[in-house]
Amino acid sequence: MTPRRRWTMLCCALVAAMTTTCAVSGVAYLIPALHTQHGVSLSQASILATIPTIGLMLLIIPWGALLDRFGERRVLIISLLITLTGTCAAAIVSALGAPFWVLGAALFVGGLGAGAANGASGRIVVGWFPARQRGTAMGVRQMAQPLGIAVCALTMPLIAAHSGVTTALLVPVAVTAIGLLACIVGIVDPPAAPSSSSTGSTDSDNPYRAGGFLARVHGVSVLLVIPQSMMWTFVPTWLIVAHHWAPAAAGALVTATQIVGAVGRIVAGRVSDIWDSRMRPIRVVALAAAVSTAVLALTDWLHSPIAPVVMALATVASVADNGLAFTAIAEFAGPGWSGRGLAIQNTAQHLATAASTPVLGAVIGAAGFPIAFALTAITPLIAVPLVPRDAQRD
């Protein structure tokens, strides 16, 4: 495996992981159109945006177990075929004017298939890259989330405003089709290797019995995903509905912010390689997310013109930790358990997202955006002292 081939495969894994982001999070960028064009309340639209996440959570751990047993390529191809079926069905039923529950069912199917890509791409990084490069490589792979959000933010609100919700739903279809092709052409399963778990145990041993490291990483990640979910789901609505921005301008700002956030993940990963630590950078990120989100709440409450700038900073801070946690989990769990470990990580984060999104939508409807921003600033602050020390890795 040459370095060039390794990095090419990483790019294919990144595109595959983008399919999960677009299929699961893309509907959130239709909330303004659903609210203004179809008379759907913010709370109801938020529930519809949560449905793909529910589908993802139901099968993400079984997908992880399949990855541990059968490897990455075959499982990725099957899962992306299911996702493509669901996203195509969503566009079709929307074009036919079917009830929203039918649209929700199609989105649910797309979510069911979306659970393998994140874990598989993480396993590819740990399986093909040496430890001294994994933080940087995982940072590149973790660009999938902000880049996927950027694609959705740049295209879906604008398309929905000019051509309707149905046309906007073709964006996840296109991304999923490209990701499927990338997997077929570019992915090769990593070779079987001894476990990199710090316990020195065999792959069949459960790393969750080796102490509380994995559980604490999962818990910290859950706390840190709440402000991230707030930024991804409600910022377009905040800009368009609360601040009366044009959809194109709002999409451009969110896209630029997500691109900067993607670069921030690479920087965080590189810092973790240089520091030889995954956990110390997570503490820094958690503190930055808490402070920036609190400042956003204050500036929005004061109707300050710098609030959108602060929002961009808060968004960048809120997305920088994911690659660090993914790398640490995969390294500690080893190849025999990393699929399930990463699946549990994703399940916990998506469960937190699914639970918090309707609550935040209700808080916004009842008390406004500043209060919602202030509440989301609390969770990363709680996370700071809970970050564990680094576990030994290879």
Q: Which domains does the chain have, with CATH numbers?
A: 3-386 (1.20.1250.20)
Q: How many alpha carbons lie under 13 Å from residue 320 in its C-beta half-sphere?
A: 33
Helix, strand, or coil (residue 38): coil
CB 258 within 8 A of CB 315: yes
Tokens of 283: 């503490």
> Are residues 106 and 89 in contact, defined by beta-carbon separation less than 8 angstroms?
yes
Q: What is the Cβ-side half-sphere exposure of residue 81, based on CA atoms within 13 angstroms?
A: 7
> CB 374: neighbour CB atoms within 10 A?
18
303: left (phi over 0), alpha (psi -120 to 50) or beta: left
- Give me the sign of the Cα torsion angle 224, 289, 155, 233: positive
Q: Is the dihedral of CA 42, 47, 52, 56 positive or negative?
A: positive
pLDDT given at position 219: 92
How confident is the model at residue 192, as a pLDDT? Answer: 63
pLDDT of residue 244: 81
Q: How far is the CA of 302 from the CAs of 230, 298, 365, in angstroms?
A: 20, 6, 18
- Write out the DSSP string of 300-321: HHTT-TTHHHHHHHHHHHHTSS
Give pLDDT < 50 ranges for the chain: 193-203, 393-394
d(CA 300, CA 150): 23
Question: What tokens does 366 get?
Answer: 């009842």
Q: Please state whether 196 falls in left (phi above 0), alpha (psi between -120 and 50) or beta.
A: alpha
Which H helix or E strand runs over 343?
A: helix 338-367
Q: Are 149 and 164 in contact (CB under 8 A)?
A: no
* Closest to 28 in 3D by CA, of 223, 232, 254, 247: 232
* pTM score: 0.73
